[in-house]
Amino acid sequence: MDLSTELIDWYQQNKRDLPWRNTTDAYLIWLSEIILQQTRVEQGMPYYYRFAEKYPTVSHFAKAPEDDILKLWQGLGYYSRGRNMLKTAQLVQQQYNGVFPTTYQELIKLKGIGEYTAAAISSFSANEPRAVVDGNVYRVLARFFGIDEPINSPKGKKLFQQLADEALNRQHPALHNQAMMEFGAMLCKPRNPACGICPVRLGCVAFASNATTALPVKLKTVKVRKRFFNYLLITDGGNLLMNKRGEGDIWANMYDLPLIETDGLMEPEALLQLPEIVDFFGENAVIKQKTTVIKHILTHQQLFIRFVILDVAPLKLKKNWFYTTVRNTENLAMPKTIFIFIKDFFNF
């Protein structure tokens, strides 16, 4: 038996009884599909009941004030879904005389309906042979066929849509799509998949190679964190206030200057007003000099560094702060940017 047949068998024995599975009303299916976008079934369920009761047809929905829709949507997140639904309901009411479309070609034109949702509605309401590709389907296909192409690359998306199309049971599109997703949600889960009771484990490439945890592959956009470092330089000419960095951050256990990290770019004058600064330096700290902001690029972080030369001695020392002679800074392991600044400042 092929994958689809096996999964449909599994589905018919193990499926959850979900309200939107007991109808072919395209409007109600649309309602459920929009609610369930990026939303767990358990979270979306009460919203589905409330919407279906208050707006039993698309005509009822189309007449609703946007405030009412958003109020009912409250707590579900991604609120543009609610706004798009109203636009779509109004369009369906006017252009389609209140009859919700069931063909992929018509559905895909509507606000808030993309490839997945168009495939879902058309297959569930009219058995149009369109393969859905959602998070579950990506996972099931990637594991079963052992595909390590990233699911969120353009190439990967195309590949998985092709695989899904090939795997589609064209005699039973609705059943097939439901089965694929339910299987992914209940058994072939992201973590701790129940391979022990999986009906298709013998045909599963990932199971055979013990690679289920590694699939699917997802490109994680190496998101670069922006950080704002305000370094304080405090010296009497011979001695310099330094800081020894701790664990768990860049430059661990190395040395730098007393650091005030802020959430955004902050002018030194404003910096001195921060309660934490006042606590250490009093209210009479004078800015003797300040540098421009230096951009320091690391792999995962962009540091915006500014040095502020203060004409004040701290009232007390923070943990890890200590004085050393300017000469001795040459013996301390420091980030290059810091060391260069100190070297230039003291002209050695």
Partner DNA sequence: AACCCGGGGGC
Partner DNA sequence: GCCCCAGGGTT
Residue 327: DSSP 8-state: G
195 touches DNA (CB under 7 A): no
The correct pick among 65, 75, 237, 275 for binding DNA (CB under 7 A) is 75
Q: What is the CA radius of gyration of the chain?
A: 30
Q: For DNA, which stretch binds (CB under 7 A), given 161-169, 216-224, 234-242, 247-255?
A: 216-224
Exposed/middle/buried for 83, CB within 10 Å: 0-12, 13-18, 19+?
middle
Distance between CA atoms of residues 140 and 212, nearest Å: 10
Question: How many Å apart are CA 266 and CA 246, to the nearest integer?
Answer: 24
Looking at 128-136, 142-150, 275-283, 319-327, which segment touches DNA (CB under 7 A)? 128-136
- Cβ of residue 98: shortest distance to DNA, in angstroms? 20
Minimal distance, residue 229 CB to DNA, in Å: 18
Binder among 54, 63, 71, 218 for DNA (CB under 7 A): 218
The residue (of 36 and 342) whose beta carbon lies closer to DNA is 36
**Catalytic site positions:** 33
**Is position 45 an interface residue for DNA (rule: CB under 7 A)?**
no
User: What is the smallest separation between the CB atom of 133 and DNA, expressed in angstroms?
Assistant: 8
Q: What type of residue sits at position 59?
A: S
Closest to 178 (Cα-Cα) out of 2, 18, 1: 18
β-bridge mates for residue 241, sequence order: 323
| Residues counted in the chain | 348
3-state helix, strand, coil in the chain (%, to 5): 45, 15, 40
**Pick from 67, 75, 24: nearest CA to 45:** 75
Applying CB under 7 A, the span of 56-64, 199-207, 219-227, 303-311 interacting with DNA comes to: 219-227
C-alpha to C-alpha distance for 194 and 24, rounded to whole angstroms: 31
Buried b / exposed e over 214-245, threshold 16 CB at 10 Å, is ebbbeeeeeeeeebbbbbbbbbeeeebbbbeb
| From 72-80, 276-284, 310-318, 330-338, span contacting DNA (CB under 7 A) | 72-80
Using CB under 7 A, pick the residue from 46, 56, 77, 246 that binds DNA: 77
* Candidate residues 65, 154, 264, 275; the one interacting with DNA per rule CB under 7 A: 154
Nearer to DNA by Cβ, of 168 and 334: the residue is 168
Draw the binding track, 92-121, toward DNA (x: CB under 7 A; -: no contact).
------------------xxxxxxxxx---
Q: Is 41 among the residues that bind DNA (CB under 7 A)?
A: yes
Question: Which residues here bind DNA, judged by CB under 7 A?
Answer: 18, 20-21, 32-33, 36-43, 75-80, 84, 110-118, 134-136, 139, 153-154, 178, 181-182, 184-185, 190-192, 218, 220-221, 223
